[in-house]
Copies of this chain bind each other. A is one copy, B any other.
């Protein structure tokens, strides 16, 4: 087995030399401002062997990666009852498709497609005193990084042109699968997605899915072992929009991507890794991120399969 450090460095170097393909996400005007050739990696094992490469200290918009965090918080608060409001099946359609939702009478296929994440937001709004603040506090506690913030400008930018998401949210409401007003749900949703972190912070934040024994600073266990296993399972089958099968096939790890170009992947009880590179392939996942992780699990010959 190739040592982690050697593998990380070799692959980082080799991918840095290759042409960087794809486009950065253009539908959120604020996201266009980022340098498309940023490239960062942060890696951390169970026993805290850790490495940062490239732009691992630069903050970026984590976007859909935050859906794992909101799901985990709702799961913690409400337990298995959340599965009455959202499914756990891969969607087989683009992340913002309304077709499937119509067929499924307003129950989104899984919590990682936009509609599913909105239903989770609706649950959190109904169960948190100050939804935005409480959610942010929770993320800070998970990561032990107190300076994590929403980006108001990204949230606003997305809200302004998010017609498809507005459609989606009102559509779910029309089926009765939403307790709060769509405007309120969307406000929380866009803020949640606007969280900014760097590769280090993201990797730290996801420790609770890497390490079954993880506790926050104040000694709290975030999720039960069984819940951790289930979140990882959903990431495995649904974490990459309609490229989830491809990711599972090539990389073989549970993970979650965001249109900001970030990907977090987890080898349960072994390591967590974050890769960030803003250019996206045609499915909306980081081009270099996918390549890096495929090369990494191939070189180290370590995957869950």
- Partner of A167 from B92, B174, B236 at Cβ < 8 Å: B174
Q: Which of A222-258 contact B (CB under 8 A)?
A: 225-226, 228-230, 232-234, 236-238, 242-246, 248-250, 252, 254
The answer to whether A88 touches B236 (Cβ under 8 A) is no
* A241 and chain B: residue at smallest CB distance: B89
Q: B243 to A89, Cβ gap below 8 A? A: yes
| Chain B residues whose C-beta falls within 8 Å of the C-beta of A213 in the assembled complex | none
- Min CB–CB distance A48 → chain B (angstroms): 21
Bound together, the chains give a CA A305 to CA B305 distance in angstroms of 10
Q: In the bound complex, how far is the Cα of B168 from the Cα of A173, in angstroms? A: 13
A101 to chain B: closest CB distance in Å? 8
Say whether, besides A89-B243, A92-B91, A99-B98, A249 and B234 are in contact (CB < 8 Å): yes
CA distance A91 to B245 in the complex (A): 10
Chain B residue at minimal CB-CB distance from A104: B92
Given A229-B303, A298-B226; A245-B89 close (CB under 8 Å): yes
| Given A93-B92, A170-B164, A226-B298, CB of A245 within 8 Å of CB of B234 | yes
Task: Give chain B residues whose Cβ lies under 8 Å from the Cβ of A232.
Answer: 252, 305
CB pair A245–B87 under 8 Å, yes or no, is: yes
A305 touches B233 (CB 8 A): yes
Shortest CB distance A169–B (Å): 8
Given A88-B249, A90-B90, A110-B245: A171 and B182 within 8 A (CB)?
no
CA distance A88 to B110 in the complex (A): 19
CB-CB < 8 A to A98: which residues of B?
A: 98-99, 102, 167, 171
Decide: B248 and A237 in contact? CB cutoff 8 A.
yes
By a beta-carbon cutoff of 8 Å, the part of chain A in contact with chain B is: 87-93, 97-100, 102, 109-110, 163-164, 166-171, 173-174, 182, 225-226, 228-230, 232-234, 236-238, 242-246, 248-250, 252, 254, 268, 298, 301, 303-305
